[in-house]
Structure 1
Amino acid sequence: MTAPSAPESTPDWLSGAVLYQIYPQSFADSDGDGIGDFPGVLRHLDYLAWLGVDVVWFSPCFASPFADAGYDVADYFTIAPRYGTNEDLRRVVDAARERGIRVMLDLVPGHTSHRHEWFRASAADPEDHRYIWSDRVGSPVSRWIPAPGTRDGYYLANFYPVQPALNFGYARMDPAEPWRQPVDAPGPRANRAALREIMAYWFDQGVAGFRVDMAFSLVKDDPGMVETGRLWTGIRQWIDRAYPDRALIAEWGDPGVSVPAGFHADFFLHFVGDALRSLWDNSQGSHSFRWGTEPCFFAPEGEGSMRPFLDAWRRATTAIGGVGHVALPTANHDFSRLAVGTRTREMIAPVFAFLLTWPTLPTIYFGDEIGMRYVPDAPDVEGADLDDGQRRQGSRTPMQWDGTEGAGFSTADPARFYLPLDPEPDRPNVADSLADPGSLLNQVQRLIALRRAHPALGSTAAVDVLHETYPLVYRRGDDHLIIINPRREPARFTFPSAAELHPLEVRGIAVDGDVMTAEGFSYGVFTRRL
């Protein structure tokens, strides 16, 4: 049995988009409480418009007790008071649209907070199966939590004990686990209906789509993700009928599966395979305890390989068949920033040159465009420091807007900030970066503008890799050549008629006849002379 095919349509606006992820509590604080909010975002929309991003994606912003930074939702229809009101978000949506920017939200469909009214009702009613309940401890033991209130037994938690798993059913029944319910049982049906209700509410408020947290995890024990695919394909078909210009982006990590299942795009992620780890995670940050020391390609030592990424990319794009997209993030709230370990902000411009000239949906994590670094000693806040060695808080520190004591993030005493600022005296900031034509920020802005001006650099034109070691060289379409050297040592490449190429954006590339010499941490985007 296979899942039904997803409709083959993608909103035009998504195909050309550059995305920007905002962790709302760390972006901009307007009221002096030390926590970012939507009025703070509103003040900086002109900056985002200047940068050239088309889509802003907010990490979870719904009402929550914040045991897991908002990934424990207590009310999907209400903005968390720390960020403002529903109307504040609507103002951001409207003002962003005036600047050509769409807003996407983060949807957490697999679990809620234990304080959600759905869970309280289910805990009081043995006939309510919106969550996964059992009269015994299942496997793994650590995820089965004693039932609260009057209900006997245990409930399944997805991550923390305060995150009970919503019941979307099991793909297979098992006599040893009699609590399993099929995907068409009343509880799973109610939860699927609730997903549509939540999405429709925010679509009607002008939201352009959702990034879907842990999208692969809803149906349990699902070999081949067949029932999970059926679930998302059904939702996609509904969206295409009722809201055809809206989009879903998966946190799945396997675009070759998730896009055919109904998503418009999916991320290559660090925790699924080696595709992204092989590029720019050098295991010196958030996951250093869990991961080994395999070198990545975009590391100053120059010992990595593009092969794992290229192989995964080709498999994914072949499976997608041109009806969706692979998204590449610079980082996110769970993983180390680009500036981490031995890779400093002075070394990461080649990452952006690659990201913004490769056929992907580039996604910039807030602050990466100025070279904010992963802060290794940041304190644990709202569940960021996990028992398995992940230290996520180092990528969640406040945005650095200027060189003042509070970095322009908040008027509060810095001791009251959501997380401490990067303590380094030379931390980068937006104001200084704007004033420096050679700054990383200005390079990123120019690369985004170049991508928009030259469709061959976008998400749909063909890519032909000519050299996959150092330097990385590839052709986009018929007329554009990109050369990237992310290592410290120079690298050379011979290209016939190189002297006839016209430079569009170049840093540290010299051309002598047919020989192109790339200095350390350099890149060049060229086109044929017209």
Structure 2
Amino acid sequence: MRKLSPLALVPLLLFPTLGYSENPAPHWVKSAIFYQIYPPSYQDSNGDGIGDIQGVIQRLDYIKSLGVNTLWFNPLFKSEFKDGGYDISDFYQVDPRYGSNSDLVRLIEEAHRRGLRVCLDLVAGHTSDQNAWFRESAEGKDRRYSDYYIWPDRVPDDVKGKQKDQVGGVIGEDSFVKTDAPRAPWYIKNYYASQPALNYGYAHPNPKHAWEQPVNAPGPMAVRREIENIMAFWMDKGVDGFRVDMASSIVKNDPDKKATISVWQDISSWYHTHYPDAVLISEWSNPKESSAAGFNIDFMMHTGKYNFTSLFFNRVGGEFEPTVSYFAKDGKGEIKTWYDLYREQYQATKGKSYISLPTGNHDIQRLNAGDRNSVDQLKVAMTFFLTMPGTPFIYYGDEIGMRFQTGLWNKEGSQGKPTKNRAGSRTPMQWDEGKNAGFSSTDYWNLYLPIDKNPQRPTVATEEKDPKSLLNYTRQLLKLRASSAALSADGEWRLVSSVTQPYPMVYLRSAGNERYLVALNPSDKPVNVSLPAIKISHASRVVGEAEQGELHIQQDKSDLNLAPISALVFKLE
């Protein structure tokens, strides 16, 4: 083992305790643990090779057994599926591939009966180009939906050669889509050309550009009310909340996001007034901005300035490539980049909203990717995700360590820019050793995406029987979290290791007199560290094995030894 490297008291002054005051989110959100389901890949009940709502209903008891309490579904609405369901042609209708509106209501009822809540994905910034609103808008200026979209009469000189900046809200030449519609020769897209942007207006409309309407113009105001109608339609059917896709993208030419925040304040005020027990989650990746906009939860993940890419991958798009990251076993990573970003956001949002560090999602590589592929490695990463403050989100299959698959083809827009292989994280759930891993009774070639062909692929059935499996480890962590105020979303958090000695990462969770010490060593080398500023009289190991490390308590300091690729959680007295 490496020589002990004592930590000075100074770093503890640099890394203060980060705690919460009373958060305005609905009470249940404070203990929410989300499970994300990509609908076509979870469970096929009718043998057509595509997952559906009835399939999810069949698996609700399993989902409940994990220790999660809230489901988030990627879009279930009627779609042309040019972007995995994010190109919606009818917001008020479940797509037939998944079932009917009645099926979704039954799913909500069955979930509620088991103590599970249900959240849907709201695509607020754009629709499909096959949406009836868009088709009518394309016909002329005197229709009901004419100003639901943005129709330039030209590509202005000041945007030619510029690329769209989605994060900064700047419209570039690539935002203009050529069309032969009677209305105008161009429309503004939001992502793919098949996804015309809804018109929430421009933060700073150019008077020379007739299509740039202010945010309070009749068209943009009508779009706001339509979004509220969609939310009300599904909330009144029992839904418990929404995750809003690309929430920061709605107002155009809004680099400081002030106009976007103002629009969402209007919508969220209506929403929280009419549905005070509902949650509103944003894909904004800037929690202090989304919190000001009225969202209860925001993600810190792989996009924008505030991200965790240095922890898990420095390259997001494309096939997995070896990179320097903290949770790689070569031990060459660092935590300062992530910590500085996280600390800024955490301090800005405590008592106001929650930050989520998701295990993964439908747009990024799974945890099990490249040489981060052993159960022990995945346990270290899962320990991090499920013992941090804020709101945990577990992406389906991560609880069993499903593998990010390389070499897949473009499936329903999965190979978009900048991400080249989103399909690798969207493959069917692996249930058992039966046909198609229990996902579907269809022939292999009819599957939505291929099942992992590795004969050692993880399955729920196999891991259920193994007390040391990742599945049962995840359950253990969630059970511990649910029993502890210190490990909850509101528990205080303090980094007690130093960013200058990144391995191990050690942090303290506390609430009142309850304290837990979490120690992570994702590297393949043993590490040692001295913790002089934590008063400990007794420590009980509650997560991890004895061979993974020891905490030696002394009068003036405590020494922590961690074996390679280890995670330990101690309850302190």
Q: Where does residue 484 of structure 1 map in the other structure?
A: 520
TM-score (norm 2): 0.88
Alpha-carbon distance change, 60 to 406 in structure 1, aligned in 2, over 3 angstroms? same
Q: Where does residue 3 of structure 1 map in the other structure?
A: none
Counterpart of 2:391, as a letter, is L
Map of 1:126-165 to 2, 5 A cutoff? Answer: 126-127=141-142, 128-138=146-156, 139=159, 140-165=172-197
- SS of the aligned residue for 1:129 comes to helix
Tell me how many residue pairs correspond in the alignment: 520
**CA drift at 1:330:** 0.8
- SS of the aligned residue for 2:399 comes to helix
Q: Where does residue 528 of structure 1 map in the other structure?
A: 572
Computed over aligned residues only, the root mean square deviation of the Cα atoms, in angstroms, reads 1.9
Q: Does 1:121 align with 2:136?
A: yes
Map of 1:30-179 to 2, 5 A cutoff? Answer: 30-127=45-142, 128-138=146-156, 139=159, 140-179=172-211
**Pick from 15, 21, 25: which aligns with 2:30?**
15
Q: Where does residue 303 of structure 1 map in the other structure?
A: 332
**CA drift at 1:498:** 6.7
Alpha-carbon distance change, 509 to 493 in structure 1, aligned in 2, over 3 angstroms? farther
Residue by residue over 1:85-135, the C-alpha shift from the partner in whole angstroms, topping out at 9 and shown as x without a partner, is 111111111111111111000000111001111001101122421100011
Gaps of 5+ in 2: 1-21, 160-171, 554-558
Alpha-carbon distance change, 17 to 234 in structure 1, aligned in 2, over 3 angstroms? same
Alpha-carbon distance change, 400 to 316 in structure 1, aligned in 2, over 3 angstroms? same
Counterpart of 1:485, as a letter, is N
Alpha-carbon distance change, 388 to 475 in structure 1, aligned in 2, over 3 angstroms? closer
- SS of the aligned residue for 2:72 comes to strand
Q: Does 1:314 align with 2:352?
A: no
Residue by residue over 1:300-351, the C-alpha shift from the partner in whole angstroms, topping out at 9 and shown as x without a partner, is 1111111122211211122213111001111111100001111104211111
Is the contact made by 2:284 and 2:290 (CA closer than 8 Å) also made in structure 1?
Answer: yes
Alpha-carbon distance change, 148 to 521 in structure 1, aligned in 2, over 3 angstroms? same
Counterpart of 1:355, as a letter, is F
Distance 2:565 2:243 in 1: 32
Distance 2:397 2:357 in 1: 16
**CA drift at 1:509:** 2.9
Q: Where does residue 202 of structure 1 map in the other structure?
A: 234
**CA drift at 1:288:** 5.7
Distance 2:248 2:271 in 1: 19
Farther-moved stretch of structure 1 (504-513 vs 245-254): 504-513
Q: Does 1:342 align with 2:371?
A: yes
Q: Where does residue 249 of structure 1 map in the other structure?
A: 281
Alpha-carbon distance change, 294 to 414 in structure 1, aligned in 2, over 3 angstroms? closer
Counterpart of 1:323, as a letter, is K
Counterpart of 1:503, as a letter, is R
Alpha-carbon distance change, 344 to 498 in structure 1, aligned in 2, over 3 angstroms? farther
Q: Where does residue 377 of structure 1 map in the other structure?
A: 407
Q: Percent identity?
A: 41
Distance 1:428 1:387 in 2: 30
Counterpart of 2:55, as a letter, is G
Residue by residue over 1:141-194, the C-alpha shift from the partner in whole angstroms, topping out at 9 and shown as x without a partner, is 333223344323211111211111110000102244332000111110110000
Farther-moved stretch of structure 1 (492-501 vs 359-368): 492-501
Distance 2:207 2:124 in 1: 27
Farther-moved stretch of structure 1 (421-430 vs 441-450): 421-430
Distance 1:130 1:358 in 2: 41
Q: Where does residue 232 of structure 1 map in the other structure?
A: 264
**CA drift at 1:264:** 0.5
**Pick from 493, 501, 518: which aligns with 2:539?**
501
**CA drift at 1:50:** 0.5
Is the contact made by 1:379 and 1:419 (CA closer than 8 Å) also made in structure 2?
Answer: no
**CA drift at 1:510:** 2.7
**CA drift at 1:38:** 0.4
**Pick from 491, 496, 501: which aligns with 1:461?**
491
Greater RCO, 1 or 2 (C-alpha within 8 Å, sep 6+): 2
Counterpart of 1:437, as a letter, is P
Distance 2:256 2:202 in 1: 13
Alpha-carbon distance change, 512 to 168 in structure 1, aligned in 2, over 3 angstroms? closer
**Pick from 440, 447, 456: which aligns with 2:470?**
440
Distance 2:537 2:471 in 1: 29
Map of 1:256-275 to 2, 5 A cutoff? Answer: 256-273=288-305, 275=307
Q: Where does residue 549 of structure 2 map in the other structure?
A: 510
- SS of the aligned residue for 1:523 comes to strand
Is the contact made by 2:317 and 2:418 (CA closer than 8 Å) also made in structure 1?
Answer: no
Residue by residue over 1:40-80, the C-alpha shift from the partner in whole angstroms, topping out at 9 and shown as x without a partner, is 00011001110011111000110011111110000001000
Alpha-carbon distance change, 402 to 286 in structure 1, aligned in 2, over 3 angstroms? farther
- SS of the aligned residue for 1:329 comes to coil
**Pick from 418, 427, 435: which aligns with 1:397?**
427
Counterpart of 2:506, as a letter, is V
Is the contact made by 2:204 and 2:254 (CA closer than 8 Å) also made in structure 1?
Answer: yes
**Pick from 216, 220, 241: which aligns with 2:252?**
220
